[in-house]
Structure 1
Amino acid sequence: MFADLTLFGHCGHRIAASAEGPDGGMPVLLAHGGGQTRWSWKSIANLLAEHGFRVIALDLRGHGDSAWATDGAYAMADFAGDLAAIASAMDRKPALVGASLGGLAGILAEGEHGPNLFASLTLVDVTPQLDAGGVARVIGFMAAHAGEGFASPDEAARVISEYIPNRPSRRASPGLARYLRQKADGRYYWHWDPAFVTGVMRQDEDQSEDRGYGKVELSEAARRLTLPVHLVRGGSSDLVSPEAVAHFRELVPHAEYSNIADATHMVVGDQNDLFGETVVDFLIRTHARKGGE
């Protein structure tokens, strides 16, 4: 699928990435959601590359093959700093497509380290105003098996099916192996640092040590966005409500908005083809107008 790369985020933090598409194409950074890896974007990356974009999919810090933060630096400001460092080091200003965690980090990076750090910003089912119940459900799923892992990939697949009941149940696929690590005890563990989840839970409980994760800071960062912005919501999302969309469009009046029917917060997995068409259309229109940046 990709050519593997090593990039460097904030303070030289090692970030694993993979690239696809023509070297001279408009660069597009893909930043996944919490608990995922760069392989979440496989089909989308292929589609963008087919349309001439130079696609660079990232493993965010503590995820996939990227370095873990030994000091527990998993605040939103840390993820935003990585994106800012990577974008600033590129020869051409990249477009950013960020899902959930990746999108929030993109808002903060552009708002704090911009303007014009990115050529455009596509936010996948995420805004500064998120439903607390939906957030708790996501964090609960990630925390539930972080410590003890799974006896087999099939057990992990069953847990995923229970978490996403709208999709057909299936046994472990070869692709699931990219999200799991088998340790010396023979059990399988998610391919990310458990300290990421405990850090998120701690920040959620204690905002006194706020490093750019709180709603106010993200809203302020969103209000500063002047670059082209595209918000893509899952029509059945339990994290981004219609009210949250209205709030975001007040903060960023020039933003485009797409609602993907029959998709949950996991928009890319639920409606991959429709999501891909929507994103490609926005990127082609936006960057053709701007001369490709």
Structure 2
Amino acid sequence: MTAAAEVVFTSAEGGRLVGTRMGPETGPLVLLLHGGGQTRHAWARAAIRLAEEGYHVVRYDARGHGDSDWSATTDYSMTAHGADLLAVLRALGRPAALVGASMGGIASLLAAAEAPECARALVLVDIVPGFAAKGVERVRAFMRANPEGFASLDEAAAAVRAYNPARAAKNPEGLMRNLRKGDDGRLRWHWDPQVIGKKPDPGLTEMLSAKLASLPITLPLLLVAGADSDVVDAEALERFRAQAPHAETVAIARAGHMVAGDRNDAFGDTIAAFLKRTIRR
């Protein structure tokens, strides 16, 4: 397996998007797009697994997240994230399998619809056009909480446990990749607060439904949902199946919205099996 290396891309508005690439450069390209409030490190274990399978894996921090630049215009719309993904794909110069969680899944859907020649496969991770608004609001409420940050890592870990009790046994040291220390010594999440400064576009569901309908029927499409998710609930899942009857759907048991974090091994097995069936190494 090729060692991990940092790579820097340019966003659609000219900012820096900091990423990591690993795996054989001649292998099929896979892009991993994280969710809102996360960083590229959310994909660390999945990236290693796919690189070991022979794929060239690229993951980057979305604008306003992690080590990437904050938007100079505070544009954190889904359209902007989709445009950034297209900029990355064109910089890489070849089509890729797109694996996107939540916000990253929306960006992947927009990019695949805008430039289908850039996508070899599309994996939506716990996100569909008709997502459950209540579940999304719970995510946004978590991101809005604690604007003054945390006095310690334990405080940050407690906030995560309150949102997702399944994370209670996780090593809190891993959270440091998602935190930054301010001049006042307090720890804050590693994203621009303006990321959640605006309400979601009320027309987003209709736009995403239209984009999903426009995808080529030949594009391999997989939805990986958390069986306990409150974002892709039973009703949202049924709507998706009606909209995309050709898509494969997998529900990961004992996983919520953060599927890869909750059940990384099961998630990795699912993604690896899908890519093996749909794109040649």
Q: Matches of residues 7-86 of structure 1 in structure 2 within 5 Å?
A: 7-86=9-88
- Note closer, same or farther for the CA distance 1:116–1:245 as it changes in structure 2 (3 Å cut): farther
- 1:149 partner SS: coil
Q: Matches of residues 103-252 of structure 1 in structure 2 within 5 Å?
A: 103-111=105-113, 113-145=114-146, 147-169=147-169, 172-173=172-173, 175-199=174-198, 201=199, 203=200, 207=202, 214-226=204-216, 227-252=219-244
Report the TM-score, using the length of structure 2 for normalisation. Answer: 0.95
- 2:31 partner SS: strand
Q: Deviations over 1:152-176 (max 9, x none)?
A: 1111011101111123345621x21
- 1:12 partner SS: coil
**Structure 1: where are the runs of 5+ without partners?**
none
- 2:41 partner SS: helix
- 1:239 alignment partner AA: V
Q: Deviations over 1:229-274 (max 9, x none)?
A: 1100100100002221222222222211111111111110111101
How far apart, in 2, do the equivalents of 1:27 and 1:171 lie?
31
How far apart, in 2, do the equivalents of 1:244 and 1:163 lie?
21
Runs of 4+ residues deviating >3 angstroms? none
**2:270 alignment partner in structure 1:** 278
How far apart, in 1, do the equivalents of 2:184 and 2:176 lie?
17
Percent identity of equivalent pairs: 45
- 1:223 alignment partner AA: A
How far apart, in 2, do the equivalents of 1:138 and 1:11 lie?
27
1:108 shift after superposition: 1.4
Q: Deviations over 1:85-139 (max 9, x none)?
A: 111222321111000000011111222x222321111110000111111111100
1:29 shift after superposition: 0.5
How far apart, in 1, do the equivalents of 2:30 and 2:52 lie?
13
How far apart, in 2, do the equivalents of 1:125 and 1:8 lie?
27
- 1:166 partner SS: helix
**Structure 2: where are the runs of 5+ without partners?**
none
Report the TM-score, using the length of structure 1 for normalisation. Answer: 0.91
- 1:56 partner SS: strand
Which range is displaced more, 5-14 or 272-281? Answer: 5-14
RMSD (Å), alpha carbons = 1.4
Q: Tell me the matched-pair count.
A: 277
